[in-house]
Amino acid sequence: MAEKSLMARAVELLSRREYSRRELFTRLKPHAADPDEIEAVLAELAERHWQSDERYAQALAQSKQGRWGSTRLAQALRSKGVDRDTIAQALDGVDDLDACRGLWQKKFGEPPADAQEKAKQMRFLAARGFPADVVRKVLAEAGHSRDD
């Protein structure tokens, strides 16, 4: 059976989901003798608009929105090789406050009973990538609703 070309491998990968340029490079590296071959394939894919870091960033932000905050989304995109401007563009429409509120409501639903429970809720939300000021605001709102 003939060995698949780098282009065929790349197209096969992209047919399943979006990939960042760096991810594709890493996936194709074991199948290429020379990194320049991979760069040529990636350049052609980008030229044909079959691979786009912008589209990848938008897809990831959209799929994780509501479960991850902007901090975690930005970190995930940076780890996949997406540049700062593209990350900023992808996260432009992300509303951390609403997402954090929704996640808090789904996970906890009621204000913390004591300082230990409040710390637990804060750690959970912070681990999901929500900025500290957003987490504090959501928990403060929850505390006010309990006092009513």
Q: Would you state the pLDDT for residue 66?
A: 85
Q: Tokens 């509303």 appear where?
A: 95
Check pLDDT > 80 for residue 143: no
- Type of residue at 67: R
Q: Would you state the pLDDT for residue 145?
A: 59
Averaged pLDDT, 112-134? 94
CA separation (Å) from 123 to 71, 116, 120? 14, 11, 5
Residues 12 and 52: their CA atoms lie apart, in Å, by 15
Q: Would you state the pLDDT for residue 48?
A: 95
**Residue 128 burial (C-beta neighbours within 10 Å; 0-12, 13-18, 19+):** buried
- Type of residue at 41: V
Higher pLDDT, 66 or 87: 87
Residues 105 and 73: their CA atoms lie apart, in Å, by 20
Number of H helices, E strands in the chain: 9, 0
Higher pLDDT, 126 or 147: 126
Q: Would you state the pLDDT for residue 147?
A: 46
Q: Tokens 């009621």 appear where?
A: 110
Q: Would you state the pLDDT for residue 25?
A: 96
Q: Would you state the pLDDT for residue 71?
A: 94
Check pLDDT > 70 for residue 146: no
Tens digit of pLDDT for each residue in 38-59? Answer: 999 999 999 999 999 999 999 9
Check pLDDT > 80 for residue 96: yes
Q: Would you state the pLDDT for residue 1?
A: 47
* Backbone phi and psi for residue 61, each to the nearest 5 degrees, phi listed first: -60, -40
Rounded (5°) CA angle 103-106-108: 95
Rounded (5°) CA angle 72-69-108: 120
Q: Would you state the pLDDT for residue 148?
A: 42
Report yes or no: 8 and 14 within 8 Å, Cβ to Cβ: no
